[in-house]
């Protein structure tokens, strides 16, 4: 028979008999303790599990109550009470432990007490003590009233009224203030009965959703008595109707009051409220137009101080209207814009004034289109006729000086003036320069010539006319030295193409130079004239407007020189072709040259024709609105095989409306003319006659060299830039260092030169 | 001779390319205010003896004789 088979006792599984029932009874009785234990365990599990479930509910309710008392107490008493009653309903429905239920009831009591319901508060406290006799008030947020009501509840706890009905299950609790104090008597903690009544009315309005009335009642209460809790409640209502700026101000005042009275409850809530509002409040800032001196700006019809326009203003979210007025180029102009500012947003409003009227009341179609498309104030101003004078006169005078290590010194005063009529399109100008030159360069000293002192007078005049897109310009220049006279005349034409974005220019000039010897001829050999030099020059250039801040000039020039331009005072040393010339060192001194040279002293002789070609570009770009970078590059070649590259750069910075400074750098490199030699040699023919090189020169500017120039300048504008008369003082200075790679006497030259100029324009 | 032809070719090509490129950038009149600044003139801004010193000390001449407009001014 199976040992574990518990049946009626029949070994073979047949229907149980009485004997089997008695067996069964014995089995049951034997196993009853075990079964009972199992049942008890199951029951215990249920019992244990229920508290576990209840513990979970406890934690949830406790957390909810804690949050309500942190966030809503004492500022939002109405909503706080409702939420607490909901938690009590959960406790009653799902079950909470005594301490938790007591916590809820204590919180309800505190809120009700603040709402003025003393008896109701006591009832809640009594219910709390009934749920947990060891319950206590919290350490913060307890007013004297609450403490007093709690003590009363403790005394009458056994007979305390049942806890107030939970919301959601019972009809809603009576409105706050149902248990009002005696008429005319302010309750404890209040000085003004009317203020208290208004505060209660605000709470009621809040609970019923009439937030505007809430604000009105709270403000009325505060006028009578400044209660921090009332102010916090006011801040809450104001925030809910979008008056964030007012809400922040009131929350900050409540915080200050809480700090002054050491009211921890108020301080805690006020801090949270202030932080929340600071995060939510949007801001507005303005970009004012430039050049408008009589600007007035209003934001929602309230004036905005001009000096504060670029600061950030706190505003309420929603729609606002910005209005501005001022004069643009003498025309009354206005601006109006509606902005919709969202919470947390920083709105930037660019004020662009547009004329409301023009002289004579007429604005051209082009001006209208231009202004409508304008995005900034500068663009609008450019659309309107600029205030122009009919005649602009400019006079300038300058004094320049030059000195170098070759003992060449130049003093050069000058004066120039111009008349320009921007409206009629004509211009005229003239200049005069005097160069006083003293030279004792090695070239002169090596020939035993005394240093010389001479003057050069240069005069020039120019005039042009450009009534529209096309214009012409003429010029005339004369330069006179004792042994050199140069006369030059030229014409040029320009055109404005592609809406003035492309401006080509063609020019031609002719120079006629007379080379002679004058009284200062060191040899005393007066020759009426040595010869003439005629130069035809063609210049072409195109200016491109590349962008609103940059322009590019590309140009080329062709010069055709015909005539003998050899220097009449420059003698070229000759050396023995085999024994001396190859060994003359670069930079050989005057003494060495004089000791090594042949006795012959031929004059310099250059080719009588020279074609010169150059291409160049100049790029100007305005950077940052207050600086201009000017870059130039030139490539040169001529029929004497001289090749050169020249790079020039200036960075002109407007440090203020009156002061401009700039550094300057220039780099020039050139190769030698094809007939240039360090040491020329002369050979004797069979007759003993010396054969000289056909072309010979001692001009270092025909030798390979590199020149680096560095310096700078500055200009100070005197008086207001927009004044009728403008004055300016300009000072420039440069240091020039030249390295001669294959020259006699000197291998380097350092020169310094500068100019001080004064100009006036009216 | 070859160098001269090369120089001229480069110049002409540059002018053509830049003319074409210029046509792609349209700068309206009201955006040309900065171009009228005194420092943006296409003319040489050298003062006093600067130009004369260069003419005497450098063996090269010409190249950029000065443009004409440049500011797109009205």
- How much of chain A is helix, strand and coil, in % rounded to 5? 30, 35, 35
Does the pLDDT at position A501 exceed 50? Answer: yes
Does the pLDDT at position A328 exceed 90? Answer: no
Would you tell me how many other CB atoms lie within 10 Å of the CB of residue A416?
A: 17
Residue A153, CA distances (Å) to A130, A453, A728 in order? 10, 120, 92
Q: Does A761 touch chain B (CB under 8 A)?
A: no
Select, from the ranges A267-271, A313-317, A332-336, A647-651, the one with the highest average predicted confidence (pLDDT). A647-651
Structure tokens at A591: 């003494």
Contact A432, A415 (CB under 8 A): yes
Q: Which of A55-69, A123-137, A227-241, A384-398 has the lowest mean pLDDT?
A: A384-398
Contact A708, A737 (CB under 8 A): yes
Give the pLDDT band of residue B16 (cuts 50, 70, 90). Answer: low
Average pLDDT over residues A733-758: 95
Q: Which residues from B are below 8 Å from A617, CB to CB?
A: 14, 64
The sign one gets for the Cα dihedral A164, A169, A171, A173 is positive
Chain A and chain B share a number of CB contacts under 8 A equal to 250
> Which DSSP letter does residue A723 get?
S
Residue A56, CA distances (Å) to A52, A74, A277, A392, A723 in order? 6, 28, 34, 92, 83
Q: Which residues from B are below 8 Å from A635, CB to CB?
A: 7, 63
pLDDT digit string (tens) for A156-169? 765 444 444 444 33
**Residue of B39, B40, B73 best to disrupt the A interface, most CBs of A under 10 A:** B39
CB-CB: which of A398, A507, A634 is closest to B63?
Answer: A634
Residue A584, CA distances (Å) to A573, A594, A678, A679, A701 in order? 11, 12, 8, 7, 19
B61:A630 CB<8 A: no
Does the pLDDT at position A31 exceed 60? Answer: no
| Cα distance between residue A351 and residue A207, in whole Å | 44
**Cα of A310 to nearest chain B Cα, Å:** 23
| Cα distance between residue A211 and residue A192, in whole Å | 23
- By CB atoms closer than 10 A (0-12, 13-18, 19+), residue A33 is exposed
The sign one gets for the Cα dihedral A190, A195, A198, A202 is negative
Does the pLDDT at position A731 exceed 90? Answer: yes
A541:B65 CB<8 A: yes
| Cα distance between residue A31 and residue A25, in whole Å | 10
Query: Cα A213 to the chain's mean position, in Å?
Result: 46
pLDDT cut 70: percent of chain A above it: 82
Average pLDDT over residues A444-449: 52
Contact B52, A527 (CB under 8 A): no
Q: What is the pLDDT of residue A187?
A: 80
B47:A755 CB<8 A: yes
A545:B72 CB<8 A: yes
Q: Which residues from B are below 8 Å from A750, CB to CB?
A: none
**Cα of B13 to nearest chain A Cα, Å:** 11
Residue A679, CA distances (Å) to A313, A584, A587, A696 in order? 80, 7, 11, 10
- How much of chain B is helix, strand and coil, in % rounded to 5? 55, 0, 45
**Residue of A620, A658, A698, A730 best to disrupt the B interface, most CBs of B under 10 A:** A620
| Cα distance between residue A331 and residue A355, in whole Å | 6
What 3 state SS string does A574-638 have? EEECCCCHHHCCCCCCHHHHHHHCCCCCCECECCCEEEEEEEEEEEEEEECCCEEEEEEEEEEEE
Does the pLDDT at position B74 exceed 80? Answer: no
Average pLDDT over residues A170-182: 40
**Cα of A272 to nearest chain B Cα, Å:** 50
Q: Which residues from B are below 8 Å from A615, CB to CB?
A: 7, 10-11, 14, 63
The nearest alpha carbon in chain A to B5 belongs to A613
| Cα distance between residue A678 and residue A706, in whole Å | 16
Give the pLDDT band of residue A523 (cuts 50, 70, 90). Answer: very low
Q: Residue A530's closest CA among A458, A606, A446, A599?
A: A606
Q: Would you mind telling me the total number of residues written for chain A in this entry? A: 762
| Cα distance between residue A255 and residue A231, in whole Å | 9
Give the pLDDT band of residue A290 (cuts 50, 70, 90). Answer: confident
Average pLDDT over residues A654-660: 92
CB-CB: which of B14, B19, B34 is closest to A549?
Answer: B34
Structure tokens at A642: 């001289």
Contact A247, A277 (CB under 8 A): yes
Domain ranges of chain B: 2-57
Q: Which of A294-303, A428-437, A474-483, B27-36 has the lowest mean pLDDT?
A: B27-36
A628:B39 CB<8 A: yes
The nearest alpha carbon in chain A to B71 belongs to A545
Contact A125, A250 (CB under 8 A): no
Give the N- to C-terminal CA distance of chain B in Å, as an integer: 43
Q: What is the pLDDT of residue B60?
A: 92
Q: Residue A570's closest CA among A456, A444, A689, A421?
A: A444
Give the pLDDT band of residue A756 (cuts 50, 70, 90). Answer: very high
Phi and psi for A229 in degrees, rounded to 5? -70, -35
Q: Does A646 touch chain B (CB under 8 A)?
A: yes
CB-CB: which of B15, B32, B56 is closest to A545?
Answer: B32
3-class SS of residue A424: coil
Q: Strands A574-576, A680-684: parallel, antiparallel or unpaired by DSSP?
A: parallel
B69:A380 CB<8 A: no
Does the pLDDT at position B58 exceed 80? Answer: yes
Contact A469, A511 (CB under 8 A): no
Q: Which residues from B are below 8 Å from A670, CB to CB?
A: 58-60
Does the pLDDT at position A7 exceed 70? Answer: no
Domains defined along chain A, listed by start: 1-9+16-164 (no CATH), 186-279 (1.25.40.10), 283-383 (2.60.40), 392-761 (2.40.160)
Q: What is the pLDDT of residue B40?
A: 93
Does the pLDDT at position A388 exceed 70? Answer: no
Does the pLDDT at position A408 exceed 80? Answer: yes
Would you call the peptide bond into A363 cis, given omega within 30 degrees of 0 as the criterion? no
Between vectors from CA A710 to CA A545 and to CA B70, what angle results, nearest 5°?
10
Radius of gyration of chain A (CA): 52
Q: Which residues from A are below 8 Å from B30, CB to CB?
A: 370, 373-374, 378-383
**Residue of B7, B15, B47, B74 best to disrupt the A interface, most CBs of A under 10 A:** B47
Would you tell me how many other CB atoms lie within 10 Å of the CB of residue A362?
A: 8
Would you tell me how many other CB atoms lie within 10 Å of the CB of residue A411?
A: 16
CB-CB: which of A370, A543, A751 is closest to B42?
Answer: A543
Q: Does A383 touch chain B (CB under 8 A)?
A: yes
Contact A125, A147 (CB under 8 A): no
Residue A235, CA distances (Å) to A81, A111, A270, A284 in order? 19, 18, 9, 22
Q: What is the pLDDT of residue A45?
A: 44
Average pLDDT over residues A653-660: 92
Angle between helices A264-280 and A244-261 (to 10 degrees): 160
Contact A112, A105 (CB under 8 A): no
A690-691 sheet: strands from edge to edge: A574-576, A680-684, A690-691
Q: Does A675 touch chain B (CB under 8 A)?
A: no
Give the pLDDT band of residue A657 (cuts 50, 70, 90). Answer: confident
Angle between helices A118-131 and A98-114 (to 10 degrees): 170
Average pLDDT over residues A215-242: 92
Average pLDDT over residues A585-605: 91
Beta-sheet strands, E only, within B3-67: none
Q: Which residues from B are below 8 Å from A374, CB to CB?
A: 30
Task: Return the higher-pLDDT residue of A580 and A189.
Answer: A580
Q: What is the pLDDT of residue A172?
A: 30
Q: Residue A750's closest CA among A403, A401, A404?
A: A404
Q: What is the pLDDT of residue A43?
A: 42
Give the pLDDT band of residue A265 (cuts 50, 70, 90). Answer: confident
E strand or H helix that includes residue A211: helix A211-224
| Cα distance between residue B68 and residue A310, in whole Å | 40
The nearest alpha carbon in chain A to B42 belongs to A553
Q: Strands A392-404, A354-355: parallel, antiparallel or unpaired by DSSP?
A: unpaired
Q: What is the pLDDT of residue A4?
A: 30
**Residue of A370, A375, A615 best to disrupt the B interface, most CBs of B under 10 A:** A615
Q: What is the pLDDT of residue A181?
A: 55
Computed over every residue of chain A, the mean pLDDT equals 83
- By CB atoms closer than 10 A (0-12, 13-18, 19+), residue A664 is buried
Does the pLDDT at position B6 exceed 70? Answer: no
Q: Which of A31-45, A65-79, A533-547 has the lowest mean pLDDT?
A: A31-45
Contacts of residues A736-740 at CB distance under 8 Å and 24 or more positions apart, as own/partner, are A736/A404, A736/A707, A736/A708, A736/A709, A736/B53, A736/B57, A737/A707, A737/A708, A737/A709, A738/A705, A738/A706, A738/A707, A738/B57, A739/A705, A739/A706, A739/A707, A740/A586, A740/A587, A740/A700, A740/A703, A740/A704, A740/A705
Q: What is the pLDDT of residue A1?
A: 31
Q: What is the pLDDT of residue A168?
A: 36
**Which residues on adjacent β-strands are paired with residue A332?**
A327
CB-CB: which of A552, A634, A753 is closest to B53?
Answer: A753
Would you tell me how many other CB atoms lie within 10 Å of the CB of residue A293?
A: 8
Q: Residue A705's closest CA among A680, A673, A670, A732?
A: A670
Phi and psi for B68 in degrees, rounded to 5? -165, -105
Contact A232, A251 (CB under 8 A): yes
* A window 582-621, beta carbon within 8 A of B: 611-618, 620
pLDDT cut 90: percent of chain A above it: 51
Average pLDDT over residues A744-750: 93
Q: Which residues from A are below 8 Å from B50, CB to CB?
A: 732, 734, 753, 755
CB-CB: which of A399, A412, A548 is closest to B32?
Answer: A548
Task: Return the higher-pLDDT residue of A211 and A41.
Answer: A211
A553:B64 CB<8 A: yes
Does the pLDDT at position A373 exceed 90? Answer: no
ipTM: 0.82
């Amino acid at each position: 028979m199976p040992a574990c088979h518990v049946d009626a006792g029949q070994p073979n599984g047949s229907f149980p008999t009485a004997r089997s029932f008695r067996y069964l009874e014995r089995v049951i009785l034997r196993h009853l303790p075990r079964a009972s234990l199992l049942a008890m365990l199951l029951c215990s599990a249920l019992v244990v599990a229920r508290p576990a479930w209840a513990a979970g509910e406890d934690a949830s309710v406790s957390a909810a109550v804690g949050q309500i008392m942190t966030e809503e107490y004492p500022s939002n008493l109405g909503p706080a009470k409702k939420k607490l009653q909901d938690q009590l309903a959960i406790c009653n429905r799902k079950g909470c432990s005594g301490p938790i239920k007591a916590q809820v009831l204590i919180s309800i009591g505190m809120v009700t007490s603040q709402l003025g319901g003393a008896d109701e508060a006591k009832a809640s406290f009594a219910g709390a003590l009934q749920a947990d006799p060891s319950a206590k008030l919290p350490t913060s947020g307890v007013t004297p009233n609450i403490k007093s009501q709690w003590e009363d509840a403790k005394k009458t706890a056994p007979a305390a009224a049942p806890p107030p009905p939970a919301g959601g299950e019972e009809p809603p609790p009576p409105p706050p203030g149902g248990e009002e104090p005696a008429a005319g008597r302010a309750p404890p903690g209040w000085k003004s009965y009317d203020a208290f009544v208004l505060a209660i009315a605000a709470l009621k309005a809040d609970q019923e959703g009439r937030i505007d009335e809430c604000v009105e009642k709270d403000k009325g209460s505060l006028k009578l008595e400044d209660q921090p809790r009332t102010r916090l409640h006011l801040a809450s209502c104001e925030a809910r109707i979008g008056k964030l700026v007012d809400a922040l101000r009131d929350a900050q005042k409540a915080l200050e009051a809480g700090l002054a009275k050491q009211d921890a409850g108020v301080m805690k809530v006020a801090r949270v409220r202030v932080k929340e509002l600071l995060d939510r409040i949007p801001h507005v800032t303005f970009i004012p137009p430039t050049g408008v001196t009589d600007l007035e700006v209003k934001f929602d019809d309230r004036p905005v101080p001009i000096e504060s326009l670029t600061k950030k203003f706190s505003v309420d979210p929603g729609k606002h209207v910005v209005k501005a007025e001022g004069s643009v180029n003498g025309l009354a102009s206005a601006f109006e814009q509606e902005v919709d500012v969202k919470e947390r947003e920083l709105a930037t409003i660019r004020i662009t004034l547009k004329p409301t009227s023009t002289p004579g009341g007429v604005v051209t179609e082009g001006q209208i289109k231009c202004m409508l498309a304008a995005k900034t104030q500068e663009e609008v101003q450019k659309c309107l006729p600029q205030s122009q004078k009919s005649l602009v006169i400019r006079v300038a005078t300058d004094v320049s000086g030059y000195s170098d290590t070759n003992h060449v010194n130049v003093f050069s005063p000058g004066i120039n003036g111009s008349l320009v009529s921007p409206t009629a399109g004509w211009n005229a100008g003239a200049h005069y320069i005097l160069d006083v030159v003293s030279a004792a360069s090695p070239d002169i000293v090596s020939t035993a010539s005394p240093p010389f002192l001479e003057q050069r007078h240069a005069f020039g005049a120019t005039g042009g006319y450009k009534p529209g897109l096309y214009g012409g310009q003429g010029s005339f220049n004369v330069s006179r030295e004792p042994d050199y006279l140069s006369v030059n005349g030229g014409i040029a034409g320009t055109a404005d193409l592609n809406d003035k974005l492309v401006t080509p220019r063609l020019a031609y000039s002719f120079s006629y130079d007379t080379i002679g010897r004058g009284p200062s001829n060191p040899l005393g050999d007066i020759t009426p004239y040595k010869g003439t030099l005629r130069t035809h020059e063609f210049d072409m250039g195109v200016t491109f407007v590349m962008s609103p801040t940059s322009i590019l000039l590309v140009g080329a020039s062709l010069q055709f020189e015909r005539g003998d331009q050899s220097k009449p005072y420059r003698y070229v040393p000759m050396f023995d072709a085999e024994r001396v010339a190859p060994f003359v060192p670069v930079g050989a001194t005057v003494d060495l040259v004089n000791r090594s040279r042949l006795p012959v002293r031929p004059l310099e002789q250059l080719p009588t024709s020279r074609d010169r070609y150059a291409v160049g570009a100049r790029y100007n770009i305005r950077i940052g609105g207050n600086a201009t970078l000017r870059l130039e590059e030139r490539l040169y070649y001529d029929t004497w095989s001289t090749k050169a590259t020249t790079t020039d750069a200036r960075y002109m910075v407007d440090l203020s409306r009156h002061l401009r400074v700039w550094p300057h750098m220039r780099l020039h490199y050139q190769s030698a003319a094809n007939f240039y030699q360090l040491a020329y040699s002369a050979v004797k023919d069979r007759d003993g006659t010396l054969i000289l090189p056909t072309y010979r020169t001692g001009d270092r500017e025909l030798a390979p060299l590199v020149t680096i120039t560095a310096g700078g300048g500055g200009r100070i504008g005197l008086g207001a830039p927009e004044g009728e008369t403008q004055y300016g003082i300009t000072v420039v200075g440069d240091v020039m260092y030249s390295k001669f790679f294959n020259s006699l006497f000197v291998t380097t030259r350092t020169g310094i030169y500068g100019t001080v100029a004064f100009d006036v324009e009216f | 001779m070859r160098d001269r032809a090369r120089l001229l070719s480069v110049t002409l090509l540059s002018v053509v390319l830049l003319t074409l490129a210029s046509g792609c950038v349209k700068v309206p009149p009201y955006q040309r205010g900065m171009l009228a600044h005194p420092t943006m003139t296409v003319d040489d801004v050298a003062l006093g003896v600067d130009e004369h010193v260069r003419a005497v000390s450098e063996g090269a001449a010409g190249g950029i004789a000065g443009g004409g407009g440049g500011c797109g001014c009205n």
